[in-house]
Amino acid sequence: MYTQSLILDRKSGDAAELEDPERLAHFQRRIDEERKIEPNDWMPGAYRQTLVRQISQHAHSEIIGMQPEGNWLTRAPSLRRKLQLLAKIQDEAGHGLYLYSAAETLGVSREELVDQLLAGRAKYSSIFNYPTLTWADIGMIGWLVDGAAIMNQIPLCRCSYGPYARAMILVCKEESFHQRQGFDIVRTLCAGTPAQRAMAQDALERWWWPCLMMFGPHDRDSEHSDLSMRWKIKRFSNDDLRRKFVDATVPQARFLGLDIPDPELRFDAIEGHWVTGPIDWDEFFAVIQGNGPCNRERLAARRGAHEQGRWVREAASAYAARHAAAAAAAAAAAA
């Protein structure tokens, strides 16, 4: 999902009021008519700011999200599983790069965004600050984390900002493969030995609640979400998306013979939805503020990787500069 911090700050919400009312009305009309906003179109500052924040957080999440899975690449239980996992992690890198490019269409540079992440000033999805302790966790990430991401990202395919909406179409297709490979891992474990089933159950118990937190705070606590809805960046509220996820996932868990770790979980026959017990928001905010089980480890690994890639960036810049100089010299000689 990776876009849980859709909460605008007070400043950007107010900024909308400062824009030219006529332009704002035209902009809103265009959105109401379901016409896409493109990079060169006029847009309110707060719309741009919201999208930069959301798309960059999404990109960061894809990139950081490679780490918990990368942890199991060398220990995948078979060659087939290793190939699938490798392909999935490569997809996530692609999503990250694609999304940085989408953010760049809003006038911010990738370097700036990466610097914000490395300096600890940017957020990414809380879910990637949890450890992957067993192979079953890799199944849970695909089944539940990518499953939650799909719930959130399918509506983003209709986001009012063209480049983001188009990026989401490709991303969602790949997420759907990720979800299935995760479910397949869990299904295999659940059809295996008692020890394998216990491993799957243990992983579900550790991932279930953090996955529900991925959708962000309850609607009543999620201020400014209204503006995102009005601008059709967001189409469904956090609680609606969470409910869809729970409704889709509970029957799958039952099919697998796994117990959802929530004694208060019940089916509301009148509403036609599953209802969960209370979510521990203290845990969510602790993780978001940098105090989850792996926050420091994740950022340290990213900083290390960035540092190790320095020579590649320098070589690419030197190569580009040499080519530009040669092209300029050839043009001067031809003139």
163-202: which residues touch Fe ion (CB under 5 A)?
Answer: 175, 178
Pair type for strands 273-275 and 266-268: antiparallel
CA–CA distances in Å: residue 25 to residues 20, 36, 67, 286: 9, 15, 44, 40
Query: Cβ neighbours of residue 79 under 8 Å, at least 6 residues apart?
Result: none
Burial of 286 (0-12, 13-18, 19+ CB in 10 A): middle
Q: How far apart are CA 101 and CA 164, in angstroms?
A: 10
Residue with smaller CB distance to Fe ion, 6 or 167: 167
DSSP type of residue 236: S
Query: How many residues of this chain interact with Fe ion, rule: CB under 5 A?
Result: 6
Options 6, 44, 81, 92; binder of Fe ion; rule CB under 5 A: 92
Q: Does 104 bind Fe ion (CB under 5 A)?
A: no
Q: Does 95 bind Fe ion (CB under 5 A)?
A: yes
Stretch that binds Fe ion, among 55-63, 190-198, 209-217, 248-256 (CB under 5 A): 55-63
CA–CA distances in Å: residue 99 to residues 51, 55, 62, 95: 11, 6, 9, 6
Stretch that binds Fe ion, among 10-18, 86-94, 226-234, 291-299 (CB under 5 A): 86-94
Stretch that binds Fe ion, among 79-87, 93-101, 252-260, 270-278 (CB under 5 A): 93-101
Q: How far is the CB of 259 from Fe ion (least distance, A)?
A: 25
Q: How far is the CB of 176 from Fe ion (least distance, A)?
A: 9
Residue with smaller CB distance to Fe ion, 146 or 262: 146
Site string for Fe ion, 208-247 (x = CB under 5 A): ----------------------------------------
Residue with smaller CB distance to Fe ion, 1 or 294: 1
Options 69, 137, 146, 262; binder of Fe ion; rule CB under 5 A: 146
Residue with smaller CB distance to Fe ion, 24 or 157: 157
Q: How far apart are CA 119 and CA 135, in angstroms?
A: 31
Angle at 109 between CA 105 and CA 111, to 5 degrees: 145
The answer to whether 182 touches 142, Cβ cutoff 8 Å, is yes
3-class DSSP assignment, residue 232 = coil
Q: How far is the CB of 282 from Fe ion (least distance, A)?
A: 28
Q: In this structure, which amino acid lies at residue 62?
A: E
Residue with smaller CB distance to Fe ion, 53 or 178: 178
DSSP type of residue 36: P
Element (H, E) at 267: strand 266-268
3-class DSSP assignment, residue 192 = coil
Q: How far apart are CA 85 and CA 132, in angstroms?
A: 14
Q: Does 302 bind Fe ion (CB under 5 A)?
A: no
Q: How far is the CB of 145 from Fe ion (least distance, A)?
A: 7
Residue with smaller CB distance to Fe ion, 16 or 85: 85
Residue with smaller CB distance to Fe ion, 175 or 262: 175
- Positions touching Fe ion (CB under 5 A) are 62, 92, 95, 146, 175, 178
